[in-house]
Amino acid sequence: MLQPASGHSFLVRTFDKTAFDAPFHFHEEFELTYIVAGNGKRYTGNQMHDFSDGDLVLLGRNLPHCWKLDPGELSAIEPSAIVVQFSQGFLGEGFFNNPEMQRVAALLERSANGISFSGTTRASINKSLKMLTEEKSNFKMLIHLLEILQALAESAAFDLLDDQRSIAAHSMAEQERINLVFAYLVENFRTEVSLNEVAAIVHMTPNAFCKYFKKATRKTFMETVIGYRLNYATQQLVQTSKPISEISFESGFGDVSHFYKLFRKKMQRSPLSYRKNFMQGFNKTRV
């Protein structure tokens, strides 16, 4: 449970690069995170997405998450983030049941999927969050947070990060178990993944684990591993000039030809063709 400072009912913190070293984790509190500076991968539930400067996400209770910087990123600006955390009853039990809070209550319920905001909403809220960190009055901070939540609740500029709620649909005990598996994947998918090792984490035989994982996520374990690797490789293709073979190995594929085959199957084109097509489109938008 969070421990707000004296005089506060919620937490507002500004993190430096160390925030991105946090392991895959979850907690009872809602969390609103604004990435001031930084690029990499955002992991929420069993989903992986790119993130960059300005990323704004609201996460529901017990939704596992972490942000990992691109290991090859070189930036003149130190990566940093602003994080707001608050509990369901931080303003008293039933506060969000009041009619005035109807839209915010719906927002918090939706956040079980994880919500990524975009457009003018993201720009205005990010500015408001910076102001929140600078506010000295505890009372004004609270009012400011409620205004931020109401603005988010009224916005249509958002995407759900896990629209199937594949993790949230399980009991808390099952969530804790499957989250251990995804925590392992987040840290290890770019290396050789051991089925025996991950099965042992949840105290199962490999065969029993494979059946359990498929039932819990509707994907096989290896389909999930390959999905993580292809997602990471795609990011590297469009954000770096590294050779295809290097990207293949860095993404966890031990065989380049196998990487080509899997990439073509998913993207309907070769890695090199995908990179060229992306760069052509990118250059057109700059003209």
pTM: 0.82
| Host H or E run for residue 124 | helix 119-134
Tell me how crowded residue 96 is: count the other CB atoms within 10 A of its CB: 20
* Phi and psi torsions of 78, nearest 5°: -65, 130
Q: Output the six-digit token pair for 276.
A: 């060229």
Q: What architecture does CATH give domain 11-160? A: Sandwich (2.60)
Q: Output the six-digit token pair for 226.
A: 């390959």
Q: What is the dihedral of CA 251, 256, 260, 262, to 10 degrees?
A: -60
The C-alpha atoms of residue 3 and residue 27 are separated, in whole angstroms, by 13
Contact present, 57 and 116 (Cβ < 8 Å): yes
Tell me how crowded residue 170 is: count the other CB atoms within 10 A of its CB: 16
pLDDT at 168: 54
Query: Could you tell me whether strands 56-59 and 30-37 are parallel, antiparallel, or unpaired per DSSP bridges?
Result: antiparallel
The C-alpha atoms of residue 265 and residue 271 are separated, in whole angstroms, by 11
Per-10-residue mean pLDDT, the chain, length 287: 69 90 90 95 89 96 90 73 95 93 96 95 96 94 96 96 64 80 92 93 95 90 94 90 94 94 94 89 52
Of the candidates 142, 146, 227, the residue with the CA atom closest to the CA atom of residue 189: 227
Q: Output the six-digit token pair for 244.
A: 């295809």
Spans of all domains in the chain: 11-160, 172-286
Give the Cα-Cα-Cα angle 281, 285, 287 (nearest 5 degrees). Answer: 115
Q: Burial of 247 by CB count in 10 Å (0-12 exposed, 13-18 middle, 19+ buried)?
A: buried
Of the candidates 42, 24, 26, the residue with the CA atom closest to the CA atom of residue 34: 42
pLDDT at 286: 47
pLDDT at 242: 92
Write the single-letter amino acid at 101: M
In the DSSP assignment, the letter for residue 279 is H
* Phi and psi torsions of 51, nearest 5°: -135, 155
Q: Output the six-digit token pair for 33.
A: 């995170």
Q: Determine the 3-state secondary structure of 250 from DSSP.
A: helix
Does the 172-286 domain belong in CATH 3.40.718.10? no
- For 154-174, the pLDDT digits (tens) are 999 999 997 655 555 566 777
Chain-centroid distance of CA 275 in Å reads 24
The C-alpha atoms of residue 84 and residue 128 are separated, in whole angstroms, by 12
CB neighbours of 265 closer than 8 A, spacing ≥ 6? none
pLDDT at 216: 86
pLDDT at 199: 95
- For 109-144, the pLDDT digits (tens) are 999 999 999 999 999 999 999 999 999 999 999 999
